Amino acid sequence: MKKIIRNNINSPYTLHDMNVIEFDVTGNDIVMRTQSGLVETDGVGKQVDGCVEFYDVQWDFSFVYLLGVNGNTGTFTGEKMFLKDFISNIKTFGFSVMDETYGYNMTKYNGFLLYNKKHCECVIEIYHEGDMVFVAED
């Protein structure tokens, strides 16, 4: 029997509890800005100014899911839209990141979105064939 370990991704920064306030799009690249920067994951948890860049985003496979808030379990209603449409149509928002998932060419953020005085659970999936870059302004 052959066993192969897939190592956990140990990111140098986290966006947990950060509030995403803006996506800047240039062609197929995105700069995602938070209200308070990034948090180092070295055990100290120092907060630094910065942003996250995504290169060569594949727009046809990048989505936002808006889910009604009904508690932790049960039925819900929701909407799925292309990330590009979300960025174009919802200009002023706050997205509080609760969880981050990193996979093969995919970065996924789960949290809560506030826009137009509406509050909902939200998942943002960014499919990128290029790098994901943490930009820290130490």
Domain boundaries defined on the chain: 13-137
Confidence of residue 71 (pLDDT cuts 50, 70, 90): low
Judge residue 67's burial from the number of C-beta atoms within 10 Å of its C-beta, 0-12 exposed, 13-18 middle, 19 or more buried.
middle
CA distance 106 to 119: 25
Confidence of residue 66 (pLDDT cuts 50, 70, 90): very high
Confidence of residue 106 (pLDDT cuts 50, 70, 90): very high
Question: Tens of pLDDT along 119-135?
Answer: 899 999 999 999 999 99
Question: Tens of pLDDT along 11-63?
Answer: 999 999 999 999 999 999 999 999 999 999 998 889 999 999 999 999 999 99
Is residue 60 within 8 Å of 68, Cβ to Cβ? Answer: no
Q: What is the pTM of this model?
A: 0.91
Is residue 41 within 8 Å of 47, Cβ to Cβ? Answer: no
